[in-house]
Structure 1
Amino acid sequence: MADPRVAAVDGFTEKKHQVVPSKLDPAKVTLLNTFTVCIIGASTGIGEHIAYSYAKARAATVVISSRSLSDLGVVADNIKYINKDVNVEVVECDVSKAASVEALAHYVRTHYGRLDVLVLNAGYAGPVTVKMDQGNPEWVQKAFDVNAMGTYLAAHYLVPLLLETPSGAKGFIAVGSVAGCIRRGNIANTGYTISKMAQIRLVEYLNEQYGEAGLVSLAVHPGAVKTRMAEGNTPEEFLPYLTDDVALCGAVCVWLSTRLSNIGWLSGRLISATWDMDDLMSKQKQIVDRDLLKFALLTE
């Protein structure tokens, strides 16, 4: 049986998108000439295309990182092809290691002295395990190390720089997942889904702790995208449903980045890149009044 929580999230806006709509085309955006974005987990797939979206929007500096440098060189070359004027920095970072994330923060601080937006895309799913007595505990441990602890470490070391940046956008965007809402079914991968739920909760905590200081923290579901990680861990029967454009999440991240000063009311919540953004904005009163798009313990 499908999980009704996932269906509710999927249908939150009447209009939805599988590809980048014209109004969200990052090439139509011009970010400030000091705009600096750091993307953790940018070597392939969604993270790679998030970097391309910021390049199209003419960010001044795009810092791309992952735990392996092997694919980042190609991504950097592609960014320069898209926008020859952008400054691209390649930095190794394993988001599950405190020293590595601290080194990334130190690099950005000492080389640029500013950070407008952090996009945390690094993630780990592991083989699908729908029973706790099955699979390998190491898969679950790694999911929590990357998805949950990695979010904490990114916040611990990089939120101070976001807040200290003069006239900065102050955006913390975690590429989350509606999987954090899943409890049942053939893709209810225990370690992944629960660690993603923890990630979304951490994003809410960021708003509670730093929202008054101007930080806007968001978890963004990228859609159902056939990435390398998804293809390697998704049951065969579910693969035909992975039909959303890999570039959609990046376009939404850029769109959000241009509006951070006006969407503090959305901070601390989970949204989907497949939602129509105008429809989402039109629901502001409903979302705020009922405190929607967050996890809650039901009592009635």
Structure 2
Amino acid sequence: MRLRRSQSSERAVSPVIGTVLLIGMFVAVMTVLAAAILGVGFLQQPPSAEMVFQEDESVAIVLTDVRGLSADSTEIQLRGEGDCGQWDSSGTLKKGDVTIVERNDCPDPLEKGDVLQVVSPKVLLDTYEVRGNWYDRCDALTNGNDLTVSKDDSPLKCDIVGDDGGRADIKVTINEDAELIGTVKLSDSSESDFNIKQEGKFTGTLNSDSMPTIKDKATINGDITLPEEPNGDTLKLNQDTEMNGSIKTIDEEVQLKSNVIVRGDIIVEGSGMDPGVDLGENVLVDGDIDANGHSVDVSESANVTGTITQNG
């Protein structure tokens, strides 16, 4: 019997098949292992967020970028004191979402120097040191210090009154693009103790023994009351000023420059002053003018929606 001699190419088939099978098994095992790892979240990236903090009487936290964060797992904490609550919404957080931390939301009322922490599970997202403008600047007034409200402080909420609720003997200045919110009662320590610079904003009520100075493009949301014979001559609202409130004076002229808008009544009490009210070009008074005992000068382009009462 003649034996058949195998060729070298045939002898190489078995090792090649084994290698291919081994690689296939390895790939299959790694695929299953990777699926298992991803399935339980071992390779998931931690949540992240970028945010800005805006402070007045409270602290607003605004998300500018966020990934993998939900409201119910995001907490605001006062460092060293405890929890201030969860994010004020539900579901997945997104860019532009806002939460508000009030002064009394935390275990202790917020004070200057306190540090707020924004935390998701096991991740510290950001921190913020409280400036405390809402009380720190106002407390300074009880020491007789003048107050200048800047854009960085705004809006500053502060009642400026004396210790007994009467008039404060200080000077108040609202700078350009700044805002003061509150009740202001001032004495007559100087010719002008209340000054609103160009494009400044005041929201509240003003009762002053001195004549306020109000520059161009100011905004006033509230009433102005001037008692008899304040320190100063004429209440002037300079051009492009907008006021949502009423004006009341005693024997003091009210002068509204061009393009001023007053949405409220103007009352000038007393007698014998000419004019009591002077309305410049393109002025709008959306209310009544009661200048009984005084005259009222109205330019041709001015408009008064209510009734004008004046002397004879």
Q: TM-score, normalised by structure 1?
A: 0.28
Compare CA radii of gyration and give the structure with the larger one: 2
Q: TM-score, normalised by structure 2?
A: 0.27
Say which structure, 1 or 2, has more relative contact order (CA 8 Å, 6+ apart). Answer: 1
Q: Give the number of the structure whose residues are more often helix, by fraction.
A: 1
